[in-house]
Amino acid sequence: MYERIYETLLEQIRSGKYQLGDRVPSEKELAEEFGVSRITSKKALELIAAEGWITRKPGKGSFVADPSAKPGGVTEGKPKGNGKGGKSGNKLLVGLVITDFGDSYGTGLVYGMEEASRKFDSYLILRRTFGIPSYEEEAIKGLLDAGVDGLIVFPAQGEYFNAEILKLVIDQFPLVLVDRHLKGISAGSICTDNISGAKKGIEYLFGLGHKHIGLLTPPPMDTTAVEDRIEGFIQAHAEKGIPVDRGLWIEEILSTLPSAYTEENKAKDIFKIKRHLQENPHMTALFAMEYNIAVLAREAAEQLGLSVPEDLSIICFDCPETDGTPSFTHLRQNQEEMGRQAFEHIVKLSEGQNIPNRTMLEAALIMGRSTAAAPEAALKQA
């Protein structure tokens, strides 16, 4: 629907229905005309404004501008990108926009993409955004200016997605999203089957006798990977006939977000988890949305004198793996395969081939040192 609004309004400007300086319909007026939410009409206006066709004045409205007068403004055609080779001769040049990466998650993605780039005698350019939308927008624009032939984007976590991504989709620029998909966006994506992965982890805890399982997550914020893991958590309970107790959830773990990773925020989150454990002594296991949250949970438990896994089991997604048994039982995402397929999809798109709209890879359950039989189950066995 935002594409329809975008195309209709842009045609009206080009045809002269709205002249330079004229006010165009507002978010509210467009929402009523097309029967959509104001969020949808807002996205369309932001996209047109980003291309320089209109200027938005708070409290006054949106007015037709001269796109050619805007530095870097786009008047016609697709985003920059020199097609098959950019500035590297006849070699494919692919940009990667990623929030961040580390030992627990992200490094495998980059490794897989880099290996694929060698296979296709191509090059990969990386830019981190730290989960900040403005950095993401700047990175996409900068890589397009550098002449990349395609973009792989790990979107910033948030309720709204970047207008630059919308432009890429509308202009059919070779684009692949990794780790998550964006609702309403017809772009190819490669991610983990987070629903089945979360179900697999919770079912394992049920098998150990755990019935009161807490959930620790950052705010879902319309982030599909987090939403899917929560859905898997709920489905596992429903299939087992065990009621979901949302009182055992904390949905405001903030310190693991790329833009809020500070010692002060970590201390606040540990305090939240400690209080949560004290208020719910019957809780015997925790499902952490990611490795860094699991680390916070373990620290909180230790500060309370609780032993992991004897008193409290913890399971999460991803965990650094060195020699020996991993510190946490976890759902391991196939990061290298995800990265490899993302790059291969860009190659196919650059050659005019079609790719699947959504590719999902299975997560593997890896046993670690953080899970054991529920205390009451262990006593019965004894």
Q: For residues 315-320, give the mean pLDDT.
A: 94
Upper half-sphere CA count for residue 169 (Cβ side, 13 Å): 26
Superfamily of domain 194-334+365-381: Response regulator (3.40.50.2300)
Q: What is the per-residue pLDDT for 83?
A: 47
**Distance from C-alpha of 249 to C-alpha of 283, rounded to nearest angstrom:** 11
Token readout for 36 is 């959509």
Using pLDDT thresholds of 50, 70 and 90, give the confidence band for residue 38.
Answer: confident
What is the mean pLDDT of the segment spanning 283-306?
Answer: 96
Mean of pLDDT over the chain:
86
The residue ranges of every structural domain in the chain are 2-69, 93-192+335-361, 194-334+365-381
Question: Mind listing the pLDDT tens digit for each residue in 355-368?
Answer: 988 899 999 999 99
112 or 45, which is more confident: 112
pLDDT tens for 109-150 read 999 999 999 999 999 999 998 888 889 999 999 999 989 999
Per-residue buried b or exposed e for 365-378, using 16+ beta carbons within 10 Å of the residue's own CB: eeebebbbbbbebe
Cβ atoms of 273 and 254 closer than 8 Å: no
For the 2-69 domain, the top CATH level (class) is mainly alpha
Decide whether 2-69 matches 93-192+335-361 in CATH topology.
no
Kindly tell me the burial class for residue 310, based on how many C-beta atoms sit within 10 Å of its own C-beta (0-12, 13-18, 19 or more). Answer: exposed
Residue 6 scores a pLDDT above 90:
no
**Mean pLDDT, range 87-98, rounded to an integer:** 79
Count helices and strands (H / E) in the chain: 12, 15
Please check the confidence at residue 97 and state whether its pLDDT lies above 60: yes
Range with lowest mean pLDDT among 38-47, 190-199, 265-274: 38-47
- pLDDT, average across residues 150-160: 79
Band of the pLDDT at 77, cuts 50, 70, 90? Answer: very low
For residues 190-210, b (16+ Cβ closer than 10 Å) or e, as one string?
bbbbbbbbbbbbbbbbbebbb
Cβ atoms of 285 and 313 within 8 Å: the answer is yes
CA 20/CA 161 separation, integer angstroms: 29
Q: What are phi and psi of 188, to 5 degrees?
A: -65, 140
In CATH, the number for domain 93-192+335-361 is 3.40.50.2300
- pTM of the entire structure? 0.73
- Whether 343 and 152 have beta carbons less than 8 Å apart is answered as yes
Q: pLDDT-based confidence at 47, cuts 50/70/90? A: confident
- Reference 153, options 107, 94, 197, 222; nearest CA is 94
Task: Determine how many CB atoms are found less than 10 A away from the CB of residue 28.
Answer: 11
